[in-house]
Structure 1
Amino acid sequence: MATFTGLTFGGKVWTPKFLQAIDFARCIGCGRCLKTCGRGVMALRALNEDGEFVDDEEDDEIERKVMTIANVENCIGCEACARVCPKNCQTHTELAIA
């Protein structure tokens, strides 16, 4: 298997690492990664005190908000989200191709 690579504008080899997971226990819901990503990969969602997602954000049972992966297919592997995350809660991986 080979790893998917590309070239930078300057001609250097670049290996993108795509968003795979977000650790909800570490995420503080600050939104920095959401603001950094111009591809709409993530979404901020509300959790209740039982750790279940709440669709109605007006609900009094909201404990906190966390970042989720909404459109993983839009990720280009730039890792900008990870660079701005103060809690290092994202996992990225290289794409292996056959």
Structure 2
Amino acid sequence: MNYKNYVNSLKALSDENRLKIIELVSDKTLCACDLLDHFNFTQPTLSHHMKVLEDAGIVTSYREGKWKHYSLNKEFASGFFENTKQLLSSGSECVCDYEKE
């Protein structure tokens, strides 16, 4: 497990608005304008949240006209799930036995 990347993901996920954004884009691609309908904040605030999520590799985006469209990065989701499962498992392997990354 790459602990640095995992911590960056946790930091990005540590905001309730970003968690709601992830839930909204988990099964479909949404335009920023559609995401804004679910929140009581401005477009620049949404852009900030989306940049954090994109930088962490949690969401992907593409631009169409003046709007960006966002979706959940499925590779991130499966990798994060596996890392969390590994971290919380009660297996016999000690974290000190893993190779340093």
TM-based fold match above 0.5: no
Structure number having the greater helix percentage? 2
Structure number having the greater strand percentage? 1
Structure scoring higher RCO (CA < 8 A, sep ≥ 6) equals: 1
